[in-house]
Amino acid sequence: MNARVFISTTRPGLSRAELGADGMWSVETLLHDVDVRCLAVDPHQPGTVWAGTQGAGLLRSADQGRTWQPVGLEGQIVKSIAISPSEPGRMMAGLKPPLVSASTDGGATWVELEAFRKIPSRPFWRSPAEPSGKAYVQSLAISPTEPNVILAGIEVGAVVRSTDGGQTWQGHRRGAVRDCHTLIFHAADGRYAYEAGGSGVGAAISQDGGETWTSPKGLDRHYGWAVAADPANPDVWYISASPGPRRAHSEKGIADAFIFRSCGGRWEKLGGGLPRPLNWLPYALLTDTSAPGHLYAGLKNGEVWHSADSGDTWQRLPLSLGRIEQALVMLR
């Protein structure tokens, strides 16, 4: 296991767990009065983590999450962050109302991608997840091989795509889940993109850089939330899924959830030490680019589970983050 630090959103604030030299985990809570909604690790700056907030713009930590400073988009609601895997300094933020801002200088300055306002389906975007009903950009992803290819997912509305760095946008991509929860590209192969979502579908995969999508058959739970892919084999990917939103997000521990693995289009329910079913939804699934086959699952109740064999067997890590409210990152 390579993970040494985990950071989760607890809404409000953050929890941070660090593995000490003595092999023991220590956990602290941070930013108690800040409503943090999303997190992203900068692959080009070791120890740098970004956080998006519900009305306080962006925060950045340069010391593995120990301390945080405001760094831009002041007063904005930031729901998602994407950092280019191949171009240092290039990043994007997804906002509420549904807008996208971009930076090419590591977050020092930001520019709205105005073409995002002109997507034809935009008037039909709505979100049932927040009282205002206004949609937002729930997830963003930048291709690892073609940095001008960007995917943006709306909760609820569309999965849209740009091939020119956000100067223009294609409308909803055929076969993608309109109720988008998580979008990612494969860590190295830009042909592969993955989505977890609702709308009675659960998950979708693209093998042409997000242009078209298909939904593998065989899921018996159709409210997908987290998604991850093995860094060495893009045909191996994972989602967490529950029967529906009420169970998934319940505070009563009735998620009735599973982690599923797809190998070449066939879904498997994972067990091997995991509770079956999981009473708490895995809000986060993380893989490690330096360790293919390793998978981490962060559950709503703050538990973190680890598999070193692509999900065949699992162990619960001896730590609790208290809560994981939709976002978890790890640092080595």
**In the prediction, which pLDDT does 133 show?**
82
Average pLDDT (154-174) is: 96
**In the prediction, which pLDDT does 130 show?**
83
Write the DSSP string, 25-87.
Answer: EEEEEE-TT--EEEEEE-TTSTT-EEEEEBSS-EEEESSTTSS-EEEE-TT-EEEEEEE-SSS
Q: pLDDT tens, 221-255?
A: 999 999 999 999 999 999 999 999 999 999 999 99
User: Hey, what are 164's tokens?
Assistant: 């020119």
Question: Is 10 domain-assigned?
Answer: no
CATH number of the domain where residue 201 is located: 2.130.10.10
**In the prediction, which pLDDT does 218 show?**
87
**In the prediction, which pLDDT does 242 show?**
98
User: Hey, what are 31's tokens?
Assistant: 């930013």
Residue 283 has pLDDT above 80, yes or no: yes
Q: What does the alpha-carbon distance between residue 254 and residue 242 come to, in Å, rounded to a whole number?
A: 10
Q: Where are the alpha helices (DSSP H) in the chain?
A: 245-248
Average pLDDT (169-191) is: 97
203, 214 contact by CB (below 8 A): no
Residue 29 has pLDDT above 90, yes or no: yes
Per-residue buried b or exposed e for 32-61, using 16+ beta carbons within 10 Å of the residue's own CB: eebbbbbbbbbeeeeebbbbbbbebbbbbb
Question: Is 220 domain-assigned?
Answer: yes
Question: Is 286 domain-assigned?
Answer: yes
Q: Going edge to edge, which strands form the sheet with 150-154? A: 137-142, 150-154, 159-162
**In the prediction, which pLDDT does 217 show?**
86
User: Hey, what are 229's tokens?
Assistant: 């892919």
Residue 40 has pLDDT above 80, yes or no: yes
Question: Is 194 domain-assigned?
Answer: yes
Per DSSP, the three-state class of 117 is helix
**In the prediction, which pLDDT does 253 show?**
96
**In the prediction, which pLDDT does 129 show?**
81
Cα–chain-centroid distance for residue 205?
Answer: 15
Residue 14 has pLDDT above 80, yes or no: yes
Share of the chain above pLDDT 90, in %: 92
Closest of 235, 171, 241 to residue 200, by C-alpha: 241
Question: Is 317 domain-assigned?
Answer: yes
Question: Is 65 domain-assigned?
Answer: no
Question: Is 164 domain-assigned?
Answer: yes
Q: How confident is the model at residue 264 (pLDDT cuts 50, 70, 90)?
A: confident
Total tally of structural domains belonging to the chain: 1
**In the prediction, which pLDDT does 131 show?**
80
Which residue range forms the structural domain that includes residue 290?
79-331
Question: Is 120 domain-assigned?
Answer: yes
Cα-flanking dihedrals φ and ψ of residue 68, to 5°?
-135, 145
Q: pLDDT tens, 69-115?
A: 999 999 999 999 999 999 999 999 999 999 999 999 999 999 999 99
Closest of 190, 195, 188 to residue 173, by C-alpha: 195
**In the prediction, which pLDDT does 128 show?**
83
Q: pLDDT tens, 115-128?
A: 999 999 999 999 88
Average pLDDT (158-178) is: 97
**In the prediction, which pLDDT does 61 show?**
98
Q: pLDDT tens, 291-331?
A: 999 999 999 999 999 999 999 999 999 999 999 998 999 99
**In the prediction, which pLDDT does 103 show?**
97
Please provide the average confidence, as pLDDT, over all residues in the chain. Answer: 95
Q: Going edge to edge, which strands form the sheet with 328-331? A: 25-30, 14-19, 5-9, 328-331
Average pLDDT (203-214) is: 97
**In the prediction, which pLDDT does 164 show?**
98
Name the burial class of residue 191, with classes exposed (0-12), middle (13-18) and buried (19+) by CB atoms within 10 angstroms of its CB: middle
